[in-house]
């Protein structure tokens, strides 16, 4: 059992023992605890060493009151019983971060009625392809956080939360089960379509570009601010001023990152710096005198850091030095 899954198991147990779960969640877990776990096929999923150490530690350190075990159940068996419940509650989750386009993530959960969230956080330089239980595909850019409820596949409304960063959604069509992406700026409701959402840092602006179908955007602060964005259109929303605008254009450029295509369109060094840092996971140092004096328009397929920098040198005059994860522009 990998370290990530162990941490998630710890989190669920601590929440249960501290009585932090919702009543419905607690009841579902207790129902599983009450079941007969003599089924060896289930118990074989448990890492016994983890049962003896990690889960005993959790029970000892976080339980709000002493735990009384039935006489017929040994402490180790009781811990294994809890572990089996948690394994089944978590379901089968496998995550593969990728640098190439063909690597993907498949997220599933065997207990859809339990309102426990799966969270995916990417670091700068990482790009991840996620397949949700409803077969919806999400391409997640670097420095992004996404959450979705475990019951997404059977809920009346399929809810996904984009807390930060950028993601492209290719949504499986279900007329009676709308798909909604919630962000700090507002919510985006679709039935079946593909679109890109980008949240810029510092509450600056929110970008929604629709590749196919249509998306209904509603401001999170003022529900009267609502706009349907159709295929080939790009919405820009400023949360502070609650102002939005819609433009027609080549919306594929906004989601080209998922295909490892790096695009600049009249960007100055301030914008280039942010894109390079997020794309390649580096820190870029640009002198002030260059920040707003050089502009770049270029497209790079199968982009690498050196390939991009050498290409930019064909547009403007500058030198660069790469020192590990640091890039110095002069």
| Secondary structure element (H or E) that encloses residue 59, with its range | helix 56-62
pLDDT band of residue 22 (cuts 50, 70, 90) is low
Q: Is the pLDDT of residue 15 over 70?
A: no
Q: What pLDDT digit, counting tens, does each position of 235-247 carry?
A: 999 888 888 999 8
3-state secondary structure of 271: helix
Rounded alpha-carbon distances, angstroms, from residue 38 to 43, 78, 249: 8, 12, 60
Q: Is 87 helix (H, G, I), strand (E, B) or coil?
A: helix
Nearest 5°: the CA angle 261, 263, 269 is: 135
How far is residue 65's CA from residue 327's CA, in Å, rounded to a whole number?
54
pTM greater than the 0.85 cutoff: no
Q: Tell me which of 48 and 175 has the higher pLDDT.
A: 175
- DSSP per-residue codes, 11-46: HHHHHHHTT-S-HHHHHHHHHHHTS----HHHHTTS
Taking the C-alpha atoms of residue 302 and residue 298, their distance in angstroms, rounded to an integer, is: 13
For residue 218, what are its two tokens? Answer: 């509603």
Average pLDDT of 261-267? 88
């Amino acid at each position: 059992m990998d370290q990530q899954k162990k941490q998630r198991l710890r989190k669920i147990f601590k929440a249960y023992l501290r009585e932090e779960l919702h009543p419905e969640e607690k009841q579902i877990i207790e129902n599983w605890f009450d079941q007969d776990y003599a089924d060896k096929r289930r118990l074989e999923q448990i890492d016994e060493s983890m049962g003896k150490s990690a889960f005993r530690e959790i029970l000892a350190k976080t339980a709000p009151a002493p735990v009384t075990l039935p006489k017929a159940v040994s402490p180790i068996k009781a811990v294994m019983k809890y572990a089996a419940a948690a394994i089944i509650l978590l379901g089968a989750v496998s995550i593969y971060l990728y640098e190439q386009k063909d690597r993907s993530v498949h997220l599933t959960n065997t207990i859809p009625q339990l309102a426990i969230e799966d969270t995916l956080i990417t670091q700068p330089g990482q790009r991840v392809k996620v397949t949700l239980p409803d077969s919806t595909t999400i391409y997640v850019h670097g420095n992004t956080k996404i959450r979705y409820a475990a019951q997404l596949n059977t809920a009346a409304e399929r809810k996904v939360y984009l807390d930060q960063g950028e993601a492209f959604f290719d949504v499986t069509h279900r007329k009676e089960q709308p798909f909604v992406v919630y962000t700090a700026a507002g919510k985006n409701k679709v039935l079946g379509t593909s679109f890109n959402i980008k949240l810029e840092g510092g509450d600056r602006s929110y970008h929604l570009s629709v590749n196919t179908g249509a998306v209904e955007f509603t401001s999170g602060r003022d529900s009267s601010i609502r706009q349907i964005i159709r295929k080939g259109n790009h919405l820009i929303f400023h949360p502070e001023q609650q102002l939005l605008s819609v433009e027609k254009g080549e919306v594929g450029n906004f989601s080209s990152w998922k295909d490892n295509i790096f695009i600049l369109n009249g960007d100055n060094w301030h914008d280039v710096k942010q894109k390079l840092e997020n794309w390649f996971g580096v820190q870029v140092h640009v002198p002030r005198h260059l920040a707003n004096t050089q502009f770049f328009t270029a497209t790079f397929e199968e982009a690498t850091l050196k390939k991009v920098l050498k290409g930019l040198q064909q547009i403007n005059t500058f030198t660069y030095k790469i020192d590990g994860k640091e890039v110095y522009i002069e």
